[in-house]
Amino acid sequence: MQAGKIIGAVVAVILGLVAIGMLVGGAALLWAHTTQRDADGFLKSPTYELESAGYALTSGDIDLASRPGDWWPGDLADVRFEASATDEQTAVFLGIGPSDDVEAYLAGVARDEVTRLGTASDVEYRSFSGTAPADPPEAQGFWVASAAGAGTQTITWDVAAGEWSIVVMNADTAPIVTVDFIAGARIGILLAIGIVTLISGLLFGIAAAALLVWAASPARREPAAVPAAGEPAAVAPAAAPAGAYPLTIEGTLDPQLSRGLWLVKWLLAIPHFIVLVFLWAAFALLTIAAFFAILFTGRYPRGIFDFNVGVMRWTWRVSYYSYSALGTDQYPPFTLQDVDYPARLDVAYPEQLSRGLVLVKWWLLAIPHYIVVGLFTTGVVWWTADFDGDSVLELGGGLIGLLVLIAALALLFTARYPRGLFDLIMGLNRWVYRVGAYASLMRDEYPPFRLDVGGREETAPPVVPPPPNE
């Protein structure tokens, strides 16, 4: 794939993600506009259970473009607040006023300030010690909206610029304030915002699709030049086999797999997992060093390259044995070297790498593959359990894990590993490791968007086993 088309594919993916976000957001806004508003057109919050052992509950400062030069959208929204005492016989006061005036009125008064609203009962406060207020709240003249009495008290406020505070008290200034509180908003242009967002998402989606079609289209081939009479024909260099990639990953399926050993392989592999934690830490640090070496010299240091390939090789053997394929019962060896084992991996060493490409391929150009690999490795949840409404246990993984589980169950009940399923699992793993090699700066060749199934790669040269020790 040409560099321009690779960049085009990346841009198409980014535009596609933006389009999905806009479509979901626009649909959510239209759904809220049509189904979630009350008779007066307000969108309402859950009912929050608020309480204070003091004399008042406050919201803290609500800053709405209070500084000179702050942009203010004007009369785009109205808000409504409702408060009702837990005891229906208790008269409650609800008001909103300038923060400075509220602070002056409640200076030295024991109260609680709401700092965070989570779920209906998940509320955080900041407490202030003090005494009772000198005057009842209704006697104050600074409220821009207020209501007092028994039952539900409601205020509607035309949102205006400034710093504001919401106050809830017992109307008689008695201590211990316990109320149910609801906030609501009426946005006049909610429907327009939803429609514009939805249309924009469609346009971004069309642009992403068009760009992706262009990126995936085959390059136009130039006609070969005809040599002049008497001139020898130019000999074109031999092309690599169609579909070949400089990473070779193979797996040989054991025909006599144990029915139940896969249940404990992950346990048996724990020593490998411990070693791999340290190996991958070294892998990350050495890849950073290789990054700068490539940037300044255009070459990947051979010693670092061999070590990092060894880490990938070790990882592939362990994963093939324990969780990503379950293709053999032979315990993996503790070595970075290529040895005679049913799972093999190798990466061809590049004599020269692009200095410029190293700056973008691992974080930008690989984004489309990261999305695919995420689906392969982490994108599927298998099971969720809820214990006592608090703790949640989730078991899951990606498509590879799900397919391996199916293969393991087939092995358990039939003593056979479905060959077609094995070939598919190998193709998915091959995709993952190709992306890993590319993102680790080992190769400049862009990984193909292609599923090469099977235990062996027919388009790539086989991995030559090392000579036996004499």
The whole-number pLDDT of residue 63 equals 83
Q: What Rg, from alpha-carbon coordinates, does the chain have?
A: 33
Two structure tokens written together for 319: 């994963």
pLDDT category of residue 66 using cuts at 50, 70 and 90: low
The whole-number pLDDT of residue 464 equals 52
The residue-averaged pLDDT of 353-373 equals: 92
pLDDT category of residue 457 using cuts at 50, 70 and 90: confident
| Four-CA torsion 441, 445, 450, 456, nearest 10 degrees | -80
| Beta partners for residue 248, in sequence order | 346
Spatial contact of 5 and 12, defined as CB atoms under 8 Å apart? no
Spatial contact of 423 and 436, defined as CB atoms under 8 Å apart? no
Spatial contact of 165 and 200, defined as CB atoms under 8 Å apart? no
The whole-number pLDDT of residue 237 equals 37
135 φ, ψ (degrees, to nearest 5): -130, 155
3-class secondary structure per residue, 220-277: CCCCCCCCCCCCCCCCCCCCCCCCCCCEEEEECCCCCCCCCCHHHHHHHCHHHHHHHH
Amino acid at the residue 257: L
39 Rama class: left (phi>0) / alpha (psi -120 to 50) / beta? alpha
Helix, coil or strand: residue 368? helix
Amino acid at the residue 278: F
| d(C-alpha 469, C-alpha 75), whole Å | 84
Q: Is the pLDDT of residue 1 over 50?
A: no
The whole-number pLDDT of residue 191 equals 84
Two structure tokens written together for 124: 């955080």
CA atoms within 13 A on the CB side of 459: 15
Q: What percent of the chain has pLDDT over 90?
A: 56
The whole-number pLDDT of residue 94 equals 96
| d(C-alpha 424, C-alpha 253), whole Å | 13
pLDDT category of residue 322 using cuts at 50, 70 and 90: very high
pLDDT category of residue 404 using cuts at 50, 70 and 90: very high
Q: Is the pLDDT of residue 236 over 50?
A: no
Q: Which residue has the higher pLDDT, 295 or 69?
A: 295
440 φ, ψ (degrees, to nearest 5): -85, 10
Q: Is the pLDDT of residue 215 over 80?
A: no
- The span from the first CA to the last CA of the chain, in angstroms, equals 45
Residue-wise pLDDT for 329-355, tens only, equals 999 999 999 999 999 999 999 999 999
Spatial contact of 385 and 393, defined as CB atoms under 8 Å apart? yes
Q: Is the pLDDT of residue 170 over 80?
A: yes
The residue-averaged pLDDT of 274-298 equals: 91
Going by the DSSP 8-state scheme, the letter that residue 131 receives in this structure is B
The residue-averaged pLDDT of 229-254 equals: 67
Of 56-65, 216-225, 238-247, 343-352, which range is least confident?
216-225
| Beta partners for residue 111, in sequence order | 128
The residue-averaged pLDDT of 366-388 equals: 75
Q: Which residue has the higher pLDDT, 184 or 231?
A: 184
The whole-number pLDDT of residue 43 equals 87
The whole-number pLDDT of residue 234 equals 44
The residue-averaged pLDDT of 289-299 equals: 89
The whole-number pLDDT of residue 213 equals 61
Q: Is the pLDDT of residue 293 over 80?
A: yes
Q: Which residue has the higher pLDDT, 449 or 32?
A: 449
pLDDT category of residue 133 using cuts at 50, 70 and 90: very high
* Chosen CATH of 43-188 out of 2.102.10.10, 2.60.120.380, 1.10.150.120, 3.40.50.2300: 2.60.120.380
pLDDT category of residue 102 using cuts at 50, 70 and 90: very high
pLDDT category of residue 186 using cuts at 50, 70 and 90: confident
CA atoms within 13 A on the CB side of 146: 24
The residue-averaged pLDDT of 364-386 equals: 78
pLDDT category of residue 235 using cuts at 50, 70 and 90: very low
